């Protein structure tokens, strides 16, 4: 980050020299009414806007990979779990598209971070304006910002806010990706063996020849902790900072740039992992035990007029009746919107 600022400084110097050579004294006036403070603030905002657009494409790519995996697997039954315990019938496609939808929902946070960055601080100078007739709205138009930050003091204090906002969105996305990674780790364990991870993204052991470890997915959990720490660091920088520019703010650039790098790398590697996983349908079906059908059985009694509490106790006390329940029939029976037989694939197109 510091080298980036130095490069930008050299570029400004080179531009000033080039303009001076071509225009004479007029070229020397390019810095008029500007401060390093508002110029760096503009650079950061332009960089954040560009990075968010690239990151959103990678979010969509991972969601598309999950939807493709779900469509390929189809309505193959999968035991839905609560507290990690068998709960109710679900499907592989519901699992995959559920994660895809959660990931896509994170775009709302990035849109918020984008809107915050899409404001022009140029012309605020050191934070108090200058006694010159600047046309700040003109630079807003030329640089493609949505509007000018009106208050010059507010524009100066906004340094660091964009970085913190972006890191908050990155941290929340990484938490969602970490949950996906954890599911993939659990479902690929030999005790489950629902999923087979692509071997090219697993590692062996230095001593145990049989091992194929989900190291990439484990690192997703670790990288999530890294981005959470960066978010806390950015907010901690701001919480006790007095009004006006303070040198602490130079460190905020390094935080958000690292957060971006970690998150974008995670999105790309997770997309490749998802593209390479496969399912073991026999193992998936073998995971169904009678208790998984208990809620559905109780609700069938309710639909026939039995009070819920009676149906609940009757099914709980006679789980052996559910031995003959069919997983395929159970997932097909749920037709309302968003249920196992009510997924609207147009949402994921």
Residues marked as catalytic: 83, 205
Any idea which residue has 């980036």 for tokens?
Answer: 4
* Nearest-angstrom CA–CA distance, 248 and 254: 12
Phi-psi group of 211: left, alpha or beta (phi > 0 → left; psi -120 to 50 → alpha; rest → beta): beta
Nearest-CA neighbor of 100 among 276, 332, 343? 343
| 203: DSSP letter | B
* Nearest-angstrom CA–CA distance, 287 and 69: 20
If DSSP codes are grouped into helix, strand and coil, which group holds residue 120? strand
- 137, 126 Cβ separation under 8 angstroms: no
The residues, ordered by sequence, that sit 6+ positions from 120 with a Cβ below 8 Å of its Cβ are: 42, 45, 136, 139, 140, 143, 145, 147, 148, 149
If DSSP codes are grouped into helix, strand and coil, which group holds residue 86? strand
- 19, 30 Cβ separation under 8 angstroms: yes
Rg (CA), the chain: 27
Neighbour count for residue 120 (Cβ, 10 Å): 25
Q: For residue 148, what are the β-bridge partners?
A: 120
* Nearest-angstrom CA–CA distance, 90 and 293: 11
- 147, 140 Cβ separation under 8 angstroms: yes
């Amino acid at each position: 980050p510091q080298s980036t600022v130095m490069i930008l400084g050299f570029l400004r110097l080179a531009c000033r020299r080039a303009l001076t050579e071509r225009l004479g004294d007029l070229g020397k006036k390019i810095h008029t009414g500007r401060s390093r403070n508002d110029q760096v603030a503009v650079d950061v905002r332009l960089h954040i806007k560009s990075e968010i657009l690239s990151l959103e494409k990678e979010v969509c790519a991972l969601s598309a990979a999950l939807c493709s995996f779900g469509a390929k697997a189809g309505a193959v039954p999968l035991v839905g779990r609560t507290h990690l315990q068998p709960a109710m019938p679900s499907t592989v496609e519901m699992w995959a598209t559920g994660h895809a939808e959660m990931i896509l929902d994170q775009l709302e946070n990035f849109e918020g971070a984008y809107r915050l960055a899409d404001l022009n601080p140029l012309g605020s100078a050191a934070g108090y304006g200058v006694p010159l007739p600047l046309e700040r709205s003109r630079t807003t138009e030329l640089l493609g910002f949505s509007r000018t930050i009106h208050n010059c003091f507010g524009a100066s204090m906004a340094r660091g806010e964009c970085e913190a906002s972006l890191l908050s969105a990155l941290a929340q996305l990484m938490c969602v990706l970490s949950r996906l990674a954890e599911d993939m780790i659990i479902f690929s364990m030999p005790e489950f063996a629902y999923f087979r991870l692509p071997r090219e993204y697993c590692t062996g052991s230095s001593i145990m020849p049989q091992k194929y470890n989900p190291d990439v997915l484990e690192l997703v959990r670790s990288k999530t902790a890294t981005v959470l720490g960066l978010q806390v660091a950015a907010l901690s920088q701001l919480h006790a900072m007095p009004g006006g520019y303070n040198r602490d703010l130079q460190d905020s650039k390094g935080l958000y740039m690292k957060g971006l790098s970690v998150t974008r790398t995670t999105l790309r590697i997770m997309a490749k992992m998802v593209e390479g996983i496969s399912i073991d349908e026999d193992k998936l079906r073998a995971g169904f035990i009678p208790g998984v059908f208990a809620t559905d059985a109780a609700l069938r009694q309710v639909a026939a007029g039995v009070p819920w509490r009676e149906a609940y106790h009757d099914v709980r006390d006679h789980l052996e009746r559910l031995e003959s329940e069919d997983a395929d029939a159970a997932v097909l029976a749920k037709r309302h919107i968003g249920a196992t037989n009510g997924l609207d694939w147009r949402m994921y197109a």
